[in-house]
Amino acid sequence: MSIYYSLLTAVFALLFAMAMFSFVAKSPAGNERMREISASIHEGAQAFLFAEYRVLVVFVLVLFVAIGIGLGNWITAVCFLCGAVFSVLAGYFGMDVATKANVRTAEAAATGGMPSALAIAFRGGSVMGMCVVGLGLLGCSLIYFFTGQADAIMGFSLGASSIALFARVGGGIYTKAADVGADLVGKVEAGIPEDDPRNPAVIADNVGDNVGDVAGMGADLFESYVGALVSAVTLGVLAFQETGALFPLVLGGTGILASIIGCMFVRGGEGSDPAKALRTGSYLSSLIVAAASCFLSKTFFGDFKAAIAVIAGLVVGLIIGFVTEIYTSASYRHVKEIAESCQTGSATNIITGISVGMMSTAVPILCIAVGIFLSYAAFDIYGIALAAVGMLSTTGITVAVDAYGPIADNAGGIAEMSHLDASVRKITDQLDAVGNTTAAMGKGFAIGSAALTALALFVSYSQTVEITDINILDARVIIGLFVGGMLPFVFSSWTMASVSKAAYSMIEEVRRQFHTIPGIMEGTGKPDYRKCVDISTKAALREMVRPGVIAVLAPLIMGFLLGAEALGGLLAGALVTGVLLAIFLSNSGGAWDNAKKYIEDGNYGGKGSDAHKAGVVGDTVGDPFKDTSGPSINILIKLMTIISLVFAPLIASIGGIL
């Protein structure tokens, strides 16, 4: 009955997503100008995703054949294909509803105020959240139901990870190229407001919110959720046979129900704090999962060891989220210190932001260490995998809270371009500021779970290649450690350089249009929005390939050349540096963004002041940190680990060429 429970809850999540989509679609979409802008954003986002998916089809088919012929395992190959398709669907559904919810959020802000705007934006985000967990649990449960093989689910996870990396990197390059070009030329050089319709990059910027912060984020969290389930199922089979495999699937179904209940409690009254409403839903969901895990642990195993591991993961995830809020929200001193440093220029702003980002790594890493200790002490290595599942058990509402941010951001852009009353933009800006923090918290959850999931998958890899321990005094292992530690830095360098190249082209185009299109600054000439959308699209598709390929080739090359032990060293090195670098990049970028918004609220001279210009520069530096490189690293870590696990039998048989 357990497998039927997980299947039913997965289907229920998708039905709930359909209900939320229907609610959003039936809400008023504003005047003709608002609908026109929203349609342009939707068309741009859809065009990019279809172009991106055409590129990914080639990669998926090559890897599909490599698994089927190279490993002789067509079941895993088919599951890989299913994982890729489900990941694409999760991202596309999220993008589709976000581009419908944005204009309706703006209209709700104009007619119903903060409560109505929050309701539309969050319900739009909840569609994405429920699609992620519904499709993730449905895929894992169906594969286990039909095959009864834990190994087959690894293919599903590999498909999810492959699409997620390209979606995050490609979407991140797209959105940040547009964002940087729009901000540096529009705000700093031309002195016009954010999302001003006179800015040629404004549509591309809003499209980027959907392909990067919604579709890319959805694929990212889908991959994290599936990876946690797969690691727990794989280790559960080894330790407790079918009981160990079914427990995480049932826990995932319970997390879905808890997330749905939490979503129903996200409400805000006039003048209320939207951040408090979102936290209420998140905390309630976590409490329900914690209580349910005790019952499930006793039912499945006869004790509370599994519950201890699950609750450890839940608590660690909540603490990481809270610490992320402390370092990225303007309600706390760190962001205010960054804003204050803007008074003395861009240099001090950047120095302060980097300092804050580096310090923000300490508590999350210590919490992850404590979580590993408690979960391992409670239930051995299986406990670590359950801690990752526990941390991501409320992914449904976590993604909903995360996806609501870009919807609110787009709503503000539509309000500005449609010349709605200033009170509307004030509401959407408040929602957007909260969204920056919730997005950073979502990335914190994904990064924290990456550490636990990668560690659990690493154990599965070591068992597959029959390694009992890794000797760090072995020259091959040391080589692997150093190369693995290097990879997140090279990966981040490539992704940030890609944003820089794309942004350069965008800046040149925006400047050209300002100088050559008559009447553009007076509002009588119309900018060529399509040209800027085209620049971002081509740059993202061109630049996303190299970072994605390294994640697949690096572990295979290391394993085939130096053997399984060296590959183990590579995975360990990448895990340590990758988690630290991901937290640093994500939090410093989020802090810079909210420091800029804090100045725009009227502090330290407000909009147009020298401090504001310094804040815009800091925010621009932080854009590829938090939306391209940072959130992609956790996918890099898990993709390399799952690639190693899938190809482990072949690597073990070859034993290292050198």
The verdict on pTM exceeding 0.85 is yes
Copy the structure tokens of residue 393: 């058990």
DSSP label of 273: -
pLDDT value at 438 more than 80: no
Q: Per the domain annotation, does 589 fall within a domain? A: no
For the ranges 20-34, 112-126, 451-465, which has the lowest average pLDDT?
451-465
How much is the average pLDDT of 552-576?
A: 91
Q: Per the domain annotation, does 170 fall within a domain? A: yes
Token pair 């820089």: residue? 500
What pLDDT does residue 268 have? 65
Q: Per the domain annotation, does 133 fall within a domain? A: yes
Provide the domain limits for residue 163.
2-26+34-266+273-471
Confidence class for position 627, pLDDT limits 50, 70, 90: confident
How much is the average pLDDT of 538-562?
A: 86
Number of domains in the chain: 1
For the ranges 83-97, 295-309, 421-435, 496-510, which has the lowest average pLDDT?
421-435
| C-alpha gyration radius of the chain | 23
CA distance 414 to 432: 13
CB count in 10 Å sphere of residue 592: 34
CA distance 108 to 112: 5
Of the candidates 111, 449, 321, the one whose C-alpha atom is nearest the C-alpha of residue 103 is 111
Confidence class for position 269, pLDDT limits 50, 70, 90: low
For the ranges 336-350, 496-510, 551-565, which has the lowest average pLDDT?
496-510
What pLDDT does residue 573 have? 94
Confidence class for position 185, pLDDT limits 50, 70, 90: confident
How much is the average pLDDT of 125-135?
A: 92
Q: Per the domain annotation, does 119 fall within a domain? A: yes
DSSP label of 266: -
Q: Per the domain annotation, does 317 fall within a domain? A: yes
What pLDDT does residue 436 have? 64
Confidence class for position 270, pLDDT limits 50, 70, 90: low
Q: Per the domain annotation, does 489 fall within a domain? A: no
Copy the structure tokens of residue 37: 């802008």
How much is the average pLDDT of 245-250?
A: 93
Please, what sign has the CA dihedral across residues 91, 95, 98, 100? negative
CA 74 to chain centre: 30
Of the candidates 236, 87, 82, the one whose C-alpha atom is nearest the C-alpha of residue 155 is 82
DSSP 286-342: HHHHHHHHHHHHHHHHSSSHHHHHHHHHHHHHHHHHHHHHHHH-TTSHHHHHHHHHG
For the ranges 290-294, 459-463, 500-504, which has the lowest average pLDDT?
459-463
For the ranges 67-71, 179-183, 385-389, 498-502, which has the lowest average pLDDT?
179-183
Highest mean pLDDT: which range of 146-150, 477-481, 635-639: 477-481
DSSP label of 527: P
Q: Which residues, in sequence order, are CB contacts of 646 under 8 Å at separation 6+?
A: 67, 71, 76, 154, 155, 158
Confidence class for position 592, pLDDT limits 50, 70, 90: very high
Query: What's the CA angle centered on 577, arms 573 and 632, to 5 degrees?
Result: 110
Cα→Cα distances 404→55, 98, 266, 410, Å? 28, 8, 12, 10
pLDDT value at 461 more than 70: yes
Contact of 526 with 199, CB cutoff 8 Å = no
Crossing angle between the packed helical segments 395-417 and 274-301, to the nearest 10 degrees: 160
How much is the average pLDDT of 510-537?
A: 82
For the ranges 275-279, 283-287, 339-343, 572-576, which has the lowest average pLDDT?
275-279
Token pair 């402390």: residue? 326
Confidence class for position 48, pLDDT limits 50, 70, 90: confident
Q: Per the domain annotation, does 130 fall within a domain? A: yes
DSSP 44-77: HHHHHHHHHHHHHHHHHHHHHHIIIIIS--HHHH
Q: Per the domain annotation, does 483 fall within a domain? A: no
Contact of 596 with 619, CB cutoff 8 Å = yes
Confidence class for position 386, pLDDT limits 50, 70, 90: very high
Confidence class for position 273, pLDDT limits 50, 70, 90: confident
CA atoms within 13 A on the CB side of 451: 27
* Chain mean pLDDT for the chain: 86
pLDDT value at 59 more than 70: yes
CA distance 559 to 647: 9
Cα→Cα distances 87→165, 198, 631, 635, Å? 11, 36, 16, 13
Crossing angle between the packed helical segments 422-464 and 305-328, to the nearest 10 degrees: 140
CA distance 628 to 631: 6
In our burial notation (b when 16+ CB lie closer than 10 A, e otherwise), range 387-411 reads bbbbbbbbbbbbbbbbbbbbbbbbb
How much is the average pLDDT of 422-444?
A: 75
pLDDT value at 558 more than 90: yes
Between 192 and 563, residue with greater pLDDT: 563
Of the candidates 19, 385, 388, the one whose C-alpha atom is nearest the C-alpha of residue 238 is 385
How much is the average pLDDT of 432-444?
A: 71
Confidence class for position 271, pLDDT limits 50, 70, 90: low
**Residue % of the chain over a pLDDT of 90:** 33
What pLDDT does residue 207 have? 81
